[in-house]
Homo-oligomer: A and B are copies of this chain.
Amino acid sequence: MTATIKDVARVAQVSIKTVSRVINNEPHVTEDMRTRVQDAIDQLGYAPNISARRLVQQRSYMLCILLHTSGFYQSALINKVLEVGYEYDYDILIQTYFPSQTRSKNKLSGLINERRIDGLITTPPCDTDELVLELVKKSRIPLVQISPYSPSPEVPSIAGDDRQGAFQMTNHLIELGHRAIAFLKGPRNHRTSQERLAGFHDALNLAQMVIDPQLELDSEFNFEGGYTAAKIAMSTQKPPTAIFGGNDEAAFGAIYALQEMGYSVPQQVSVCGFDDVLNSKNVWPGLTTVHHPVDEIADRALSMLVALLKGEAWDHEEKVIPSRLVIRGSTAQAIQPGQ
Q: Chain A interface (Cβ within 8 Å of chain B)?
A: 2, 45, 47-52, 54-55, 60, 62, 67, 70, 72, 75, 78-79, 82-83, 85-87, 91-96, 103-104, 106-107, 110-111, 113-116, 138, 223, 249, 252-253, 255-256, 259-260, 278-279, 282-285
**A82: which of B48, B91, B95, B114 is its contact (CB, 8 Å)?**
B95
Report how far A275 CA is from B104 CA in the complex, Å. 29
**A138 surroundings in chain B (CB, below 8 A):** 45
Chain B residue nearest to A2 (CB atoms) is: B115
Q: Are B284 and A114 in contact (CB under 8 A)?
A: no
How many copies, total? 2
Given contacts A67-B82, A75-B78, 5 further A-B contacts (CB under 8 A): A72-B278, A91-B116, A92-B93, A93-B93, A259-B285
The smallest beta-carbon distance between A225 and chain B, in angstroms, is 12
Chain B residue nearest to A88 (CB atoms) is: B107
Report how far A51 CA is from B60 CA in the complex, Å. 7
**A79 surroundings in chain B (CB, below 8 A):** 70, 75
| Residue with the greatest number of chain B CB neighbours at <10 A, chosen from A92, A93, A111 | A93
**A114 surroundings in chain B (CB, below 8 A):** 47-50
Q: Are B47 and A51 in contact (CB under 8 A)?
A: no
**A116 surroundings in chain B (CB, below 8 A):** 50, 91
A78-B75, A82-B67 given as contacts; is B115 within 8 A of A50 (CB)? yes
Q: Are A51 and B115 in contact (CB under 8 A)?
A: yes
Report how far A282 CA is from B86 CA in the complex, Å. 34
The smallest beta-carbon distance between A71 and chain B, in angstroms, is 9
**A45 surroundings in chain B (CB, below 8 A):** 113, 138
Report how far A138 CA is from B2 CA in the complex, Å. 10
Chain B residue nearest to A57 (CB atoms) is: B51
Chain B residue nearest to A253 (CB atoms) is: B282
Q: Are B47 and A113 in contact (CB under 8 A)?
A: yes
Chain B residue nearest to A70 (CB atoms) is: B79
